[in-house]
Structure 1
Amino acid sequence: MLTSFMEGLLCCLTSKSTNVVVPVETSEPADGYEFVEVKPGRVLRVRHIIPDRPVVEEPTGPGGSVSCKRKITVYRNGQLFIENLGDRASAELKTCQNGETEPNSMVEVELTDCGNSSPPVSIPEVRSDSVTAGNNGASETAGDAPAAGQTELSQQPRKRRRKPKRSVVIDCERKITACKGTHSDVALFFIHGVGGSLDIWGSQLDFFSRLGYEVIAPDLAGHGASSAPQIAAAYTFYALAEDIRIIFKRYARKRNILIGHSYGVSFCTFLAHEYPEQIHKMVMINGGGPTALEPSLCSIFNLPTCVLHCLSPLLAWSFLKAGFAQQGAKEKQLLKENNAFNVSSFVLRAMMSGQYWPEGDEVYHAELTVPILLVHGMHDKFVPVEDDQRMAEILLMAFLKVLEDGSHMVMMECPDAVNTLLHEFFLWEPATPAPPKKESKARPETAKAHTDNTKAVSETIKVRPATAKQASSNGGEEDKQHSTAKK
């Protein structure tokens, strides 16, 4: 603690940070590690593993096709309406989240505290059922009542109707297939968050590379073994997102899966918007809710760099306590070995102050049409579970999985459970609907059976006259005998 205080005092006197992350000089582009210069003087360390594939298997089966038809409307009072118009996509959404199977669904989200304001009636058709029933009931009772009822109902929407601030219509069809490790056109991208490094994905990188997946994991600027520019503008969201975009273009395949943690989830969402045709699936691990990023004005990270450097042991202890469900020797060793939260105070301050991304609001996330797996650690003290639940409501196809024994660093605490969830999600594909031709084939057989039944009935009817004839002849003989007896 005294050493840290002296270094912080020296930092204040010289106006320079003494704890600067620089590329590891002993690191070489071997064992899957590469150094990529994204900009002049801006070098990122990337772990790139291409497994040996003796036999390359191509995707077998057509896969599932999901049609996305939804209308997103934002009103000036802060209300967001999402109307799912597609049959299959909305059915998947309802089955995964609410357990319903209705073909159409609508999600209403209040962006601000506007509970007293009444919702508009122009979009939801389900809420107009009560109004329609009222009109029908009034028309059946009296002749003059419908006109009065219609005038009252026509006046109410005028008071409640508000002009939309923004309206987005999405209509597309996406093909989703299983991503096996033996497919050469599949690549997995792992992106860490603030204070982490690519080493936090050690269990995941080893696990999926052994299964035959091609994995790519970069170190963000100022993290791990990447270069750390001494300019605050180098750590804004847009600067870091541009680095990730260059890394993605360099290693991208035909089908790419993005796996992000915490702050890295925002970069995954950014790539999904930039390259919607190349992103096949996404995984968000403790990423929070679908809100636009904005730096906090009242935060400990707004303190001077030298003060943060003096408080670095306290910050590391706070991160250990809040990031892990248990604070034992194992968790401390994980932090030490994986370089988690081992960045300079200058980089940490610049990263937290540069989280400005106004485009990443609810509408931005609702426009995503890619299947997304949400993984949340129940004991996470940085991101509450309500935020991930909110994200699951906004997204078109989201699958929320909560791990009871995990916290914010759930991929390090529960590596086996996380690897299993991710692998099952990579192999998942929507069920292909049965072709309608089978139903058309069954109908002629039913009609044929019906004709056979009619023929059988007609044959029985033909037999009846013969029986009646015999009865009449028998009756005639009895009459003759009776007449002779009378005689």
Structure 2
Amino acid sequence: MLTSILDGILCCLTGKSANVVVPIETSEPADGFEFVEVKPGRVLRVRHIIPERPVVAEQASQGGVVHCKRKITVYRNGQLVIENLGDVVRSELLHCQNGNPEPSSTVEVELSDYSSSAPSTITPDPNSASLPGQRQPAPRRRHRKPKRTVVIDCERKITSCKGTHSDVALFFVHGVGGSLDIWGSQLDFFSRLGYEVIAPDLAGHGASSAPQIAAAYTFYALAEDLRAIFKRYARRYNILIGHSYGVSFCTFLAHEYPEQVHKVVMINGGGPTALEPSLCSIFNLPTCVLHCLSPCLAWSFLKAGFARQGAKEKQLLKEGNAFNVSSFVLRAMMSGQYWPEGDEVYHAELTVPILLVHGMHDKFVPIEEDQRMAEILLLAFLKVIDEGSHMVMMECPETVNTLLHEFFLWEPDNLSSASKTKPETAKSTEKTQNANGEAQPVAENKLQTK
């Protein structure tokens, strides 16, 4: 603690950060690590494993074709209306609770950044007479002029992704303060199953270079880094797995490359809202002050990031090289989270199958945010892990690995029986939604039949 304070004073006097992340010289390509220069002078460490696969005769999977036809309307009063039109999703994927096919459905929600405008419905007249126990008639909606309308009409083929196939690649993206080491259990597990895995360190994290300029850590700068990594290692079928802030980059890539991104996994990523840095945040303090507070910040991260705070969790935090970044990088990362395009409409436009994993004890991301994400997305499974928190992939690696592998192998059945295609993740989600009672009916129908 005293050392951190002295370093902070030195930082204030010299104007330089005392702890700067630099590449690890002992990392060699033979160990599965590569150093990729995404821009001149901007080098990212990447763990890239291509396992030795057995020579097998690959059979083309039939998979299933999903016809997506949605109309997304944003009104000036702050409402978002998503309409699944006609023969949208196949009947075996979208059912009513009684099991009958649902030809069309509509979900209407308020935008998260809308709080001060007038409500969308007309308030009943308090002076109107009504008999005791008599229900008020439904208020009539005024004619509204849409602010923006988006129509999606496409077909998407969804097949299972097996590790024995050489055209499948898994991309793992960490969040703020993390590193590729937090995915250690997942990288080892899936590489043993024959999957090709790619996990980069974001700029300023792990063993990647750390530019001493705040503009190097904006959302768009980091997204361009990951775009370069994706274009370098992408195969025919690519699955993106993101954690926390890393989920936003996976969403960005899925939106930019819809034909190449096959499936997406979002782990404790939060709601489908546009990113904007908080003006009242501890990370707005000067870098030297943050450096003095780094022991307290690390302790707070341990307390909020793990369901339990024992010796095992401390060791996991150390081995995962998590929250081991300079105060300058941490401050620049938090203040650079500006992504106005990533709103509800942006997420509703995604047609890729998505698995949402949430740790029940997560103190950073409330479960309501992931439930809202499940409502907005077209093809989404929500799985809540009771024993996990924000770092659930480190706390419960076996559970997370099983869920991810099951999702990778999932494909919609062309038969009319929806029960044959319903994975375990959907069953657990159904219970969670019913227990909380906060999910929209359309989201429940969607999740129950996958």
TM range (shorter): 0.7 to 0.9
Aligned-partner Cα distance in 1 for 2:390–2:225: 25
Deviation at 1:85, TM superposition (A): 1.4
Percent of pairs identical after alignment?
84
Whether the 8 Å contact between 1:181 and 1:212 is mirrored in structure 2 is yes
Query: Secondary structure, in 3 states, of the residue corresponding to 1:250?
Result: helix
Q: 1:292 to 1:100 in 2, by over 3 A?
A: farther
| Equivalence for 1:44 | 44
Aligned-partner Cα distance in 1 for 2:99–2:372: 16
Aligned pairs, how many? 399
Larger radius of gyration: 1
Aligned-partner Cα distance in 1 for 2:364–2:99: 29
Amino acid at match of 1:264: G
| Equivalence for 2:384 | 402
- TM-score after normalising by structure 2: 0.86
Q: 1:86 to 1:335 in 2, by over 3 A?
A: farther
Please say which of residues 73-82 and 50-59 is displaced more in the overlay. 50-59
Aligned-partner Cα distance in 2 for 1:420–1:301: 36
Whether the 8 Å contact between 1:406 and 1:414 is mirrored in structure 2 is yes
Deviation at 1:181, TM superposition (A): 0.4
Match of 1:351 among 316, 327, 333: 333
Aligned-partner Cα distance in 2 for 1:116–1:221: 43
- Alpha-carbon RMSD across the aligned residues, in angstroms, is 2.0
1:420-457 CA distances to partner (integer Å, 9 max, x unpaired)? 0000000000011369xxxxxxxxxxxxxxxxxxxxxx
Matches within 5 A, 1:316-465: 316-433=298-415
Query: Secondary structure, in 3 states, of the residue corresponding to 2:209?
Result: coil
Q: 1:398 to 1:96 in 2, by over 3 A?
A: farther
Q: 1:327 to 1:273 in 2, by over 3 A?
A: same
Query: Secondary structure, in 3 states, of the residue corresponding to 1:269?
Result: helix
Amino acid at match of 2:331: R
Whether the 8 Å contact between 2:54 and 2:164 is mirrored in structure 1 is no
Q: Does 1:231 align with 2:234?
A: no
Whether the 8 Å contact between 1:194 and 1:348 is mirrored in structure 2 is yes
Matches within 5 A, 1:99-178: 101-111=101-111, 112-113=114-115, 116-118=119-121, 160-178=142-160
Deviation at 1:55, TM superposition (A): 1.1
- TM-score after normalising by structure 1: 0.79
Whether the 8 Å contact between 2:70 and 2:88 is mirrored in structure 1 is no
Q: Does 1:20 align with 2:20?
A: yes
| Equivalence for 1:32 | 32
- Whichever structure has more helix as a proportion of its residues is 1
Please say which of residues 377-386 and 61-70 is displaced more in the overlay. 61-70
Q: Does 1:273 align with 2:255?
A: yes
1:164-190 CA distances to partner (integer Å, 9 max, x unpaired)? 110000000000001000011100000
Whether the 8 Å contact between 2:359 and 2:388 is mirrored in structure 1 is yes
Aligned-partner Cα distance in 1 for 2:270–2:100: 25
1:93-116 CA distances to partner (integer Å, 9 max, x unpaired)? 645999874221111110123673
Query: Secondary structure, in 3 states, of the residue corresponding to 1:30?
Result: helix
Deviation at 1:28, TM superposition (A): 1.5
What are structure 2's unaligned runs of at least 5 residues? 123-137, 418-450
Match of 1:247 among 202, 206, 229: 229
Q: List structure 1 segments (4+ residues) > 3 angstroms apart after TM superposition.
A: 90-101, 113-116
Amino acid at match of 1:60: A
| Equivalence for 2:199 | 217
| Equivalence for 2:87 | 87
| Equivalence for 1:124 | none
Q: 1:364 to 1:100 in 2, by over 3 A?
A: farther
Whether the 8 Å contact between 2:69 and 2:154 is mirrored in structure 1 is yes
Deviation at 1:293, TM superposition (A): 0.1
